[in-house]
Chain A
């Protein structure tokens, strides 16, 4: 019995010496989708809204690809395709560069996925799923880094930072229209980590934007009536 146990343990130990499926120093090169150049954790989905980029009709979402293997002194084609089953966007919504290249000498490169704004995006979110495929240059990397979902829209929603303090002291009641104007006026969409004095300064910029626009004949209204900042903002 003791002998059998020893053999089983030995087998287990030997199993631990089995060859790693992704060996970046072997002849094969692997390509994977990455969150950043130094991050090899599972890829995170990307969410984009044209609402946070006022005045922009076409925008580029950078998708990082990363090499596990040897660098090359030549550009190499990476097989990246749109997974039809996981994609709800129509081809007119985006441009995927073709071919996708990992340029010579680089171990990290960018796929410039171009998104197109349209009225459809005002009411619905759409998704593009990009998948890495095997080709003559690369094998796909770890499963968690082989596909990425890019969800995009022109929709806006009340952010968590627009809380009761911001509402009372600075910006007044939330509306999607007001939020869009705020982004247009200030160039920022997120006040999460800002101090109160910074929030106030942005609210002042927004207040003056509304006043300046009205002087030029603009009409700013939402479901609450005239769009204004909080009356407590001084």
Chain B
């Protein structure tokens, strides 16, 4: 092909292209206005439902300049809901059980399609599901020589009775003495605390997963060489930042350092008792506040208060030197009365104030101290002591100091120990709060979910006949007795032994 032909053909092609551009456009330019829809979820991009909840969500739509509910345009749009891209529901109002959402952190998405023009709009949110057992009441009862542990939902009061035996296929045995929650200091405040079941028998303590309540550890396995101390039966176990302490019913203490304080169990206990000078043995122990790094120990024989410190030491507590102590008070290093209760005060992460309740056989006294750990010496600031409960508190009385509002302490007493009293430290007055038809065995308060919200709103009272009462303790409950009873639960699982309110995440302890 010569050059002339190339030029000719190129010219023809160019001409054809030019003539094509003259082709008349017959397109439809009668556009309809496209109305954008903005989907708005009231809770934003994150939702924290409880696992037992059912989602009932109707989004708002910003459509044609108005804010309307989705159901009002059900004729115009199709609504399809997805969980992690799997269709789960159709319709403008999502009605779906949380437990049926799939994935670790489900992403729920709504797709709206305009039936007329097929324009599509999307919006979604993440579900941070609160496990069913993250927080709630935990009750241990004893029936037919069995310890039975029960979880009670704090909102619905749904009872999950005897869950340990159901889950593990094993018995707790007859000797559970305490149930408590503990957190891992180094694992972050958003981790749930685990549940520790202290059993006063050679089988050792059990730790349950704080999320699903499955048993995860037996603390007997954390003794040196997997060998238990001689004649060992736990009476208490206390977790601090870096150390744990075990108390047995021979009064011996065992301390261990946590290898990693992000783990709920780490490090081994020596399998021989810790040396405490002068043959001191401990009758009882109480955990200090979360992150206080304190464990209070009581030597009943010598009438002394000791501190298990977060450095693995066990040291006697003495009063801080200063002006003379008021005459006639109960000396914590030389008690002339029995220490029957220690109520910690939780007024911040590291606080270390306690109410000590003494009983001399006829009269109760309550003393407030602050314990200051100075590494090799432990000193207490004396803040006051007052008698209380005259004529109503007695040897069967049980106590419950509100940890965050120090003015209030509840105790049982009266005829057959059937009456609940409220003692106010400030004015030093007691008043009847509620009277039951059976002796009171346990009193527990629910703690604040987040500081300032739901603070001490409820009290659980466990009765000898197996009934549980949830009482309100907010200001309107205190002022109006008719409002105090919130719920009566006929548990029928035996006599309450120990109860607690499981608060869940560590940040609730701040």
Distance in angstroms between the alpha carbons of A195 and B225 in the assembled complex: 11
Cross-interface CB contact of B224 among A202, A211, A234, cutoff 8 Å? A202
Cross-interface CB contact of A205 among B257, B272, B277, B311, cutoff 8 Å? B272
Cross-interface CB contact of B270 among A195, A196, A204, A215, cutoff 8 Å? A204
Min CB–CB distance A170 → chain B (angstroms): 11
> Contact mask B131-175 → A, CB, 8 Å, 1/0?
000000000000000000000000000000000000000000000
Q: How many residues on chain A are close to B (CB under 8 Å)?
A: 16
Residue A134 lies at the interface, judged by CB distance under 8 Å to chain B: no
- Report whether A200 and B257 are in contact in the complex, using a CB–CB cutoff of 8 Å: yes
Q: List 27 A-B contacts (CB under 8 A).
A: A195-B259, A197-B257, A197-B259, A198-B225, A200-B257, A200-B267, A201-B256, A201-B268, A201-B269, A201-B270, A202-B224, A204-B270, A204-B312, A205-B272, A207-B275, A208-B270, A208-B272, A208-B273, A208-B274, A208-B275, A209-B275, A211-B277, A212-B275, A215-B277, A234-B257, A234-B312, A234-B313
Residue B255 lies at the interface, judged by CB distance under 8 Å to chain A: yes
Please give, as numbers and ranges, the residues of chain B lying within 8 Å of A205 by CB-CB distance: 224, 270-272
Interface residues of B in 289-320 (CB under 8 A from A): 311-313
Interface residues of A in 177-221 (CB under 8 A from B): 195-198, 200-202, 204-205, 207-209, 211-212, 215
Please give, as numbers and ranges, the residues of chain B lying within 8 Å of A234 by CB-CB distance: 257, 311-313
Min CB–CB distance B226 → chain A (angstroms): 11
Please give, as numbers and ranges, the residues of chain A lying within 8 Å of B311 by CB-CB distance: 234
User: A201, A208, A212, A215 — which one has the most chain B CB atoms within 10 A of its CB?
Assistant: A201
Distance in angstroms between the alpha carbons of A215 and B278 in the assembled complex: 8
Nearest CB in chain A to that of B255: its residue: A204
Please give, as numbers and ranges, the residues of chain A lying within 8 Å of B312 by CB-CB distance: 204, 234
Distance in angstroms between the alpha carbons of A208 and B272 in the assembled complex: 9
- Report whether A197 and B256 are in contact in the complex, using a CB–CB cutoff of 8 Å: yes
DSSP majority for the B interface?
Answer: loop
Please give, as numbers and ranges, the residues of chain B lying within 8 Å of A198 by CB-CB distance: 224-225, 268
The interface of chain A, by Cβ under 8 A from chain B, is 195-198, 200-202, 204-205, 207-209, 211-212, 215, 234
Q: How many residues on chain B are close to A (CB under 8 Å)?
A: 21
Please give, as numbers and ranges, the residues of chain A lying within 8 Å of B271 by CB-CB distance: 201, 205
Interface residues of B in 89-106 (CB under 8 A from A): none
Please give, as numbers and ranges, the residues of chain B lying within 8 Å of A207 by CB-CB distance: 275
Min CB–CB distance A94 → chain B (angstroms): 32
Distance in angstroms between the alpha carbons of A58 and B174 in the assembled complex: 46
Min CB–CB distance B315 → chain A (angstroms): 12
> Contact mask B205-241 → A, CB, 8 Å, 1/0?
0000000000000000000110000000000000000
Interface residues of B in 353-369 (CB under 8 A from A): none
Min CB–CB distance A121 → chain B (angstroms): 29
Distance in angstroms between the alpha carbons of A208 and B271 in the assembled complex: 12
- Report whether B270 and A202 are in contact in the complex, using a CB–CB cutoff of 8 Å: yes
Please give, as numbers and ranges, the residues of chain A lying within 8 Å of B256 by CB-CB distance: 197, 201
Given contacts A201-B269, A215-B277, 8 further A-B contacts (CB under 8 A): A197-B259, A197-B266, A197-B268, A198-B224, A201-B270, A208-B270, A208-B274, A234-B311
Min CB–CB distance B225 → chain A (angstroms): 7
Distance in angstroms between the alpha carbons of A205 and B252 in the assembled complex: 13
> Contact mask B1-38 → A, CB, 8 Å, 1/0?
00000000000000000000000000000000000000
| A-B pairs, 8 with minimum CB distance | A208-B275, A201-B270, A201-B224, A211-B275, A197-B267, A234-B312, A234-B311, A205-B270
Please give, as numbers and ranges, the residues of chain A lying within 8 Å of B255 by CB-CB distance: 204
Please give, as numbers and ranges, the residues of chain B lying within 8 Å of A204 by CB-CB distance: 255, 270, 274, 312
Distance in angstroms between the alpha carbons of A20 and B313 in the assembled complex: 69
Distance in angstroms between the alpha carbons of A201 and B224 in the assembled complex: 7
Please give, as numbers and ranges, the residues of chain A lying within 8 Å of B259 by CB-CB distance: 195-197
Distance in angstroms between the alpha carbons of A197 and B267 in the assembled complex: 6
Nearest CB in chain B to that of A186: its residue: B272
User: A198, A200, A211 — which one has the most chain B CB atoms within 10 A of its CB?
Assistant: A200
Please give, as numbers and ranges, the residues of chain A lying within 8 Å of B313 by CB-CB distance: 234
User: A202, A204, A209, A212 — which one has the most chain B CB atoms within 10 A of its CB?
Assistant: A204
Interface residues of B in 426-482 (CB under 8 A from A): none
> Contact mask B246-270 → A, CB, 8 Å, 1/0?
0000000001110100000011111
Please give, as numbers and ranges, the residues of chain B lying within 8 Å of A195 by CB-CB distance: 259
Nearest CB in chain A to that of B259: its residue: A197
Distance in angstroms between the alpha carbons of A198 and B267 in the assembled complex: 8
Please give, as numbers and ranges, the residues of chain A lying within 8 Å of B277 by CB-CB distance: 211, 215
Distance in angstroms between the alpha carbons of A201 and B225 in the assembled complex: 10
User: B266, B268, B275 — which one has the most chain A CB atoms within 10 A of its CB?
Assistant: B275
Min CB–CB distance A230 → chain B (angstroms): 13
Min CB–CB distance A131 → chain B (angstroms): 39
Distance in angstroms between the alpha carbons of A204 and B271 in the assembled complex: 10
Interface residues of B in 301-351 (CB under 8 A from A): 311-313
